[in-house]
């Protein structure tokens, strides 16, 4: 059995942007857990900034993901569509999480915020996994 080789890896700048997503959303998740344990409001502020950074970086990652999908749309490949769907889902969940974190004071982070931060971290890792694994072009195995 022949193992499928990596075809057409993502651009290095796209890789840098994609690599920042798990870091930012993972930091937000850890800040939420720390806030729930200590009730120090600064952890909530840190999580808000990490989520805001993740939203900006996620928007920058969606642009090349859209171009990747357009380049591969003629072929019957599901991987570029999965990649774009993961990034779009990540961005939507992160946006809802940011709205939740923007509430006032002590009620800004609840268990729901921590769960949404965990979900964004998992989606960011999944998107990075799919993105870094490369894409095969039409007609290639």
Model confidence pLDDT, tens digit, residues 89-108? 999 999 999 988 887 766 66
Q: List CB contacts of 42: < 8 A, sequence separation 6 or more.
A: none
Summarised one tens digit per residue, pLDDT across range 53-85 is: 999 999 988 887 777 776 666 555 667 778 888
More confident residue, 33 or 67: 33
pLDDT of residue 106: 64
Residue 91 is assigned to a structural domain of this protein = yes
Q: What is the dihedral of CA 58, 61, 66, 68, to 10 degrees?
A: -150
pLDDT of residue 51: 92
CA distance linking residue 36 with residue 71, whole number of Å? 44
Q: Is the four-CA dihedral 68, 72, 78, 81 of positive or negative sign?
A: positive
- If one counts the domains in the chain, the total is 1
pLDDT of residue 74: 58
CA angle, corner 26, sides to 20 and 32, nearest 5? 140
String of DSSP letters for 30-79: HHHHHHHHH--HHHHHHHHHHHHHHHHHHHHHHHHHHHHHHHHTTTT-SH
pLDDT of residue 127: 87
pLDDT of residue 1: 44
For 61, the domain range is 13-131
How much of the chain exceeds pLDDT 70, in percent?
Answer: 77
Mean pLDDT of the chain: 80
What is the band of 2 on the pLDDT scale with cuts at 50, 70, 90?
A: very low
Residue 105 is assigned to a structural domain of this protein = yes
């Amino acid at each position: 059995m022949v193992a499928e080789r990596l075809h057409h890896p993502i651009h290095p700048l796209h890789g840098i942007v994609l690599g920042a997503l798990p870091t930012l959303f993972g930091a937000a998740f850890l800040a939420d857990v720390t806030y729930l344990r200590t009730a120090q409001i600064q952890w909530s502020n840190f999580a808000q900034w990490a989520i805001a950074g993740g939203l900006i970086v996620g928007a920058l990652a969606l642009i090349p993901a859209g171009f990747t999908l357009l380049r591969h749309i003629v072929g019957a490949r599901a991987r570029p569509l999965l990649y774009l769907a993961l990034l779009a889902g990540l961005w939507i969940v992160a946006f809802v999480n940011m709205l939740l974190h923007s509430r006032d004071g002590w009620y800004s982070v609840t268990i729901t915020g921590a769960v949404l931060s965990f979900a964004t971290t998992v989606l960011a890792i999944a998107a990075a996994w799919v993105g870094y694994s490369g894409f095969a072009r039409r007609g290639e195995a």
